Chain A
Amino acid sequence: MGAIMDQYVILSCLLFGIGAIGFLTRRNALILFMSVELMLNAINLMLVSFSHQRADMSGQVMVLFIFAVAAAEVAVGLAILISLFKHIKSVDINKFNLLKW
Chain B
Amino acid sequence: MDIYFIIFAIMALGGALFTITAKDALPSALGLLTVFIALSALYLHLHAPLIAIFQVTIYAGAILVLVVFVIMLLMTPDEKLEAAQKNMAYRIMGAVLGAYLTALTVVGVKGISELISANELPEGFGHPGLLGDLFFKKYLLHFEMASVLLLVALIAGIYLAKKRI
Contact = CB atoms under 8 A, between A and B. Distances in A.
Contacts of A61: 131, 134-135, 138-139, 142
Interface of B: 1, 5, 9, 12-13, 16-17, 19-20, 22, 25, 28-29, 32, 35-36, 39, 42-43, 46-48, 50-51, 54-55, 58-59, 62-63, 66-67, 70-71, 73-76, 79, 81-86, 90-91, 93-95, 97-99, 101-102, 105-106, 109-110, 113-114, 116-122, 125-126, 130-131, 134-135, 138-139, 142, 146-147, 149-150, 152-154, 156-157, 160-161, 165
A76 B101 contact: no
Contacts of A33: 67
A17 B55 CA distance: 21
Most buried by B among A60, A69, A80: A60
18 contacts: A5-B118, A8-B46, A11-B9, A11-B13, A19-B20, A20-B98, A21-B94, A30-B67, A31-B25, A34-B32, A44-B39, A53-B113, A53-B119, A54-B118, A58-B139, A75-B66, A79-B157, A91-B75
